[in-house]
Amino acid sequence: MRSFSRIEELASARKGGAEGLAELLSGHQPKSPAELRNVGDDRWLAMFTRCIFQAGFNWKVIDAKWDGFEEAFHNFDPAFLAFQPDEFYDGLMSDTRIVRNGGKIRSVPDNARFLCDLAKEHGSAAAFFADYPVTDQTGLMELLKKRGSRLGGNTGQYALRFMGKESFILSKDVVNALIREGVVENDALSKKNLAAIQAAFNEWKAASGHNLNEISRILAFSVGTVD
């Protein structure tokens, strides 16, 4: 595994030099823990739902219908949605305001209950996510997979990123960069590989001064031949 400064040089060469890379990195910066604590739990449920419906689907369609999603799901109030009867969700299967996918619709009450449980345990779900250590993102990914619904894989990672939690996303380009650097031998997200990935990100974060968002994106930008 080479130094992160060398990886950053590779990314800069592909993206128009240091200035070009810096411009690309300027977006999607994480929120502070204090800012994250002030986000309502309803927004976490909304983002989980949005990322679940976007998975394997045209994101523009979801974007265009999102106001309808907010209306149909009562602004994603977890306490309300966690205890609605089956008939409420059955009715959404014919609601043209949303994309009518039964499995994804049924993930909403499951994730509402998940967030309500976190609120009981930690004061709010937002406080839990704000305080969860970024040095153990793979542990948070495992928790989302086990306790949430349809939040495994990249879906949960995108939700964390879009909500402003400092995080990496194991996209195809990022994984290819990790393989190139010898962090992992293949793209299997086994416990062994995830532990090695977390250790590498933690080492690069400490050495480079970059946050996980930036490290993740620099890895992705460093893949391929020079433009």
pLDDT at 226: 45
Q: What is the pLDDT of residues 133-143, one digit of tens each?
A: 999 999 999 99
Nearest to 178 by CA among 139, 226, 216, 133: 216
CATH of the domain spanning 33-163: 1.10.340.30
Tell me what the mean pLDDT of segment 18-46 comes to: 93
Q: How many CB atoms lie within 10 A of CB 68?
A: 14
- Give the integer Cα–Cα distance in Å for 185 and 62: 36
Q: Domain coordinates of the chain in residue numbers?
A: 4-29+168-221, 33-163
Q: What is the pTM of this model?
A: 0.94
- 8-state DSSP, 57: S
101: pLDDT confidence band, cut at 50, 70 and 90? very high
pLDDT at 227: 38
